C-alpha cells in the first residue's frame, strides 16, 4: 500500500463517526455473509450506513470498484449521491483537522448516466439508476449497494450478483438498505426464508435510533399522524404490513388451499395479460354453482403472441375447454391468432379502478380461492401496491406497474365475465361502482 493509502487507513477510518448498535451489526455481518439486508424503518440511517460502508471499503482497498443504486435518477441524485458526498466530506475534514494534506476524493462526476466518485487511491464508485437491468451490464465490480430496493425488480439484483467478481476484494459483497414491504417480495423470500447462509439480515425500527433529535416528541408525532399500516411498516419495521397495498383483504390462510381438483367446478374461464419482455400470464379460473372463482392453474412466462396463442390453445383443447378467455385488450395480434385457432377469446374490459374494486369485493366475500401451486398470483396479490407520489412518500391512487401481470389477468377475467356483471333494464352497464 502506498503512503496515501496508509494515511487514509490510519486517519480516515478512525474518525469519530457515531453508529447505532444495529448499524454496527451490519459491519459485523459483512465479515461473514456475502449479501446483507439492513431492513430499516423510517429514519433508521439506512442511506447513511450505505454511504459509509462504500467509503470505508474504497479507502481500505485501493483500486476497488463499487456501484450504488436506487430506482430513479432523481432519488439517486438527491438522496444517495448527496448523502455520500456529505459523508465523504466528514472523512476529508478529519484529514484537514489533523493537518494532513491528502484529498480523499479526487473528483466527483455528476451528470445523468455518468455519476461517480473517484478516490485518490484509485478506488471508484459508480452511481446508477436501477430501472433497467440492461443498463448494468458490462460492469466489473467488487461490491454493490442498493438503496430502497423494495421498489426495484429482482432482475436488477440478479444482474449485480453476476457483476461482482472480486478483482480487488477477496470477499466481494452486496448490501441492501430498505424499508420493509410484503412478505411476498423477492427480498423477503431471499433474506428471510431461503435459509442460505450467504444471506444475512439486520432488522431495525425507528425506536432504535436514539440519535434522533427530540426523540420522544418525534416518535409521538409519527404515532399521532399516521395510520396503523404506516406505523407497522415505517415505525415498527414489520414486513407484511404493506403501506399502499391494494388487496389488503387477501389472506393466504383464508384464500389459498388445495382447490385444483374440486368436483363442484361447472366450467372454466381464463384471464390473459400479454408480455414479450415482461411475463405473459394466463390464469385458469374455475366457476362453481355458488359463484366462487377458483384459480386452478397459471402460465407465467415471457412469450411471443404466436407461442402464447398455442399455449392457450393447448390449455383449451386438452384440459379446460374454456367458456370464455378474456385478454389484455391491447394485445390485438394475440386475440386475432387465438380467434384463428377457434379459441373463444375476446378483449377484456380494461377499467382499472372498478376492476380492482370488483376483485376487492370478491376477496372480501371470500368468493376468490386460489390453488396453492399458483405461486405467482399468490405473490402478486400480496405485493400489488399503489404508486408513490413525486416525493416518493405517500401512495397515490394509481397502481404501480411492476409485478402486476397476474393481477391484470385476474382483473380482465373477473370484471369482464357476465356472472358478476350488473344489469339494468337498458342492458349491461360496463363501468360499475362496486362495493369495496
pLDDT of residue 81: 95
Query: What is the reported pLDDT for 434?
Result: 36
Kindly state whether residue 66 falls inside one of the protein's structural domains: yes
Provide the pLDDT for residue 424: 36
Are residues 230 and 359 located together in one domain of the fold? no
End position of a domain, from candidates 174, 205, 235: 235
How many CA atoms lie within 13 Å of 340's alpha carbon, on the beta-carbon side? 10
Cβ count near 373 (within 10 Å): 14
**235, 267, 300 - which closes a domain:** 235
* 263 shares a domain with 203: no
Closest residue by Cα to residue 68 from 161, 175, 204: 175
CA atoms within 13 A on the CB side of 404: 18
**Final residue of a domain: which of 235, 270, 290?**
235
Q: What are phi and psi of 407, to 5 degrees?
A: -65, -40
Instruction: Look up the CATH number of the domain holding residue 24.
Output: 3.40.50.300
Q: What pLDDT shows up at residue 93?
A: 87
The reply to whether 276 and 211 lie within a common domain is no
The verdict on 311 and 349 lying in the same domain is yes
Backbone angles phi, psi at 61, to 5 degrees: -130, 80
The answer as to whether 156 is a domain residue is yes
For the chain, the domain total comes to 2
Say yes or no: 324 and 175 in one domain: no
What is the predicted pLDDT for the residue at 397? 64
Cell of 127: 452511481
pTM score above 0.75: no
pLDDT recorded at residue 400: 78
Identify the pLDDT of residue 97: 84
Does one domain contain both 225 and 374? Answer: no
Asked if 8 and 59 sit in the same domain, the reply is yes
- What's the pLDDT at 161? 94
Residue 133 belongs to domain spanning: 3-235
| Residue 176 located in a structural domain | yes
Question: Are residues 228 and 272 both part of a single domain?
Answer: no
- Please give the pLDDT value at position 131: 86
Cβ-contact 350, 331 below 8 angstroms = no
Are residues 218 and 94 both part of a single domain? yes
Query: Hunting for cell 449485480 — which residue is that?
Result: 160
Classify residue 257 by burial, with Cβ atoms within 10 Å: 0-12, 13-18, 19+. middle
- Tell me if 241 is assigned to some domain: no
> Which CATH number is 302's domain given?
3.30.420.280
CA 180/CA 234 separation, integer angstroms: 8
* Per-residue confidence (pLDDT) for residue 235, from 0 to 100: 73
The answer to whether residue 242 is domain-embedded is no
Question: Is 227 in contact with 35 (CB distance < 8 Å)?
Answer: no
185 and 302 assigned to the same domain = no
Of 9, 152, 141, give the one whose Cα is nearest residue 76: 152
Closest to 324 measured CA to CA, from 269, 273, 286, 267: 269
Statement to judge: residues 309 and 402 lie in one domain: yes
- Do residues 92 and 203 both lie within one domain? yes
What one-character DSSP code corresponds to residue 78? I
388 domain-assigned: yes
Residue 240 within any structural domain of the chain: no
Lookup: cell for 392: 416518493
pLDDT digits (tens), the chain, 436 positions: 455 555 555 544 455 567 878 888 999 999 999 999 998 777 778 899 999 999 999 999 999 999 999 988 888 999 999 999 999 998 888 888 888 888 899 999 988 778 999 999 999 999 999 988 888 988 999 999 999 998 888 889 999 999 998 789 999 999 999 888 777 788 988 999 888 999 999 988 777 766 666 667 766 766 665 556 666 666 777 787 555 778 888 988 899 999 988 999 999 999 999 987 788 999 999 999 999 999 999 999 989 999 999 999 999 999 999 999 999 999 999 999 999 999 999 999 998 888 998 999 999 999 999 999 998 899 889 888 887 655 445 555 688 787 799 999 999 999 999 875 543 333 333 333 333 3
Residue 436 lies in a domain: no
Amino acid at each position: 500500500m502506498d503512503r496515501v493509502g496508509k494515511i487514509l487507513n490510519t486517519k480516515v477510518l478512525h474518525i469519530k463517526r457515531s453508529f447505532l448498535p444495529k448499524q454496527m451489526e451490519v459491519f459485523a455481518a459483512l465479515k461473514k455473509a456475502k449479501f446483507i439486508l439492513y431492513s430499516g424503518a423510517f429514519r433508521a440511517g439506512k442511506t447513511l450506513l450505505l454511504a459509509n460502508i462504500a467509503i470505508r471499503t474504497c479507502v481500505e482497498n485501493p483500486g476497488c470498484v463499487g456501484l450504488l443504486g436506487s430506482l430513479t435518477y432523481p432519488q439517486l441524485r438527491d438522496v444517495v449521491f448527496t448523502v455520500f458526498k456529505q459523508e465523504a466530506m466528514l472523512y476529508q475534514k478529519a484529514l484537514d483537522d489533523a493537518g494532513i494534506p491528502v484529498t480523499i476524493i479526487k473528483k466527483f462526476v455528476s451528470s445523468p448516466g455518468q455519476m461517480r466518485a473517484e478516490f485518490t487511491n484509485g478506488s471508484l464508485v459508480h452511481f446508477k439508476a436501477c430501472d433497467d437491468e440492461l443498463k448494468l451490464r458490462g460492469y466489473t465490480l467488487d461490491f454493490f449497494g442498493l438503496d430502497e430496493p423494495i421498489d426495484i425488480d429482482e432482475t436488477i439484483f440478479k444482474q449485480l450478483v453476476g457483476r461482482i467478481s472480486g478483482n480487488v476484494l477477496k470477499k466481494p459483497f452486496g448490501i441492501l438498505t430498505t424499508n420493509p414491504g410484503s412478505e411476498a417480495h423477492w427480498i423477503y423470500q431471499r433474506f428471510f426464508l431461503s435459509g442460505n447462509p450467504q444471506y444475512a439480515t439486520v432488522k431495525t425500527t425507528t425506536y432504535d435510533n436514539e440519535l434522533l433529535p427530540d426523540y420522544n416528541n418525534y416518535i409521538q408525532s409519527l404515532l399521532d399522524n399516521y395510520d396503523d399500516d404506516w406505523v407497522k411498516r415505517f415505525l415498527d419495521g414489520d414486513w407484511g404490513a404493506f403501506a399502499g397495498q391494494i388487496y389488503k383483504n387477501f389472506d393466504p390462510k383464508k384464500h389459498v388451499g388445495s382447490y385444483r381438483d374440486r368436483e363442484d367446478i361447472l366450467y372454466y374461464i381464463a384471464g390473459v395479460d400479454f408480455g414479450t419482455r415482461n411475463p405473459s400470464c394466463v390464469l385458469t379460473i374455475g366457476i362453481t354453482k355458488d359463484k366462487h372463482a377458483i384459480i386452478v392453474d397459471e402460465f407465467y412466462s415471457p412469450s411471443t403472441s404466436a407461442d402464447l396463442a398455442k399455449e392457450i390453445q393447448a390449455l383449451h383443447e386438452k384440459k379446460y375447454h374454456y367458456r370464455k378467455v378474456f385478454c389484455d385488450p391491447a394485445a390485438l395480434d394475440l386475440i386475432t391468432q387465438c380467434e384463428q385457432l377457434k379459441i373463444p377469446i375476446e378483449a377484456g374490459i380494461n377499467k382499472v379502478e372498478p376492476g380492482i374494486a370488483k376483485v376487492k369485493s370478491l376477496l372480501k366475500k371470500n368468493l376468490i380461492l386460489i390453488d396453492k401451486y399458483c405461486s405467482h398470483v399468490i405473490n402478486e396479490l400480496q405485493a400489488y401496491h399503489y404508486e408513490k407520489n413525486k416525493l416518493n412518500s405517500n401512495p397515490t391512487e394509481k397502481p404501480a406497474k411492476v409485478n402486476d401481470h397476474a393481477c391484470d389477468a385476474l382483473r380482465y377475467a373477473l370484471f369482464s365475465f357476465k356472472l358478476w356483471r350488473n344489469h339494468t333494464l337498458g342492458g349491461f352497464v360496463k363501468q360499475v361502482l362496486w362495493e369495496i
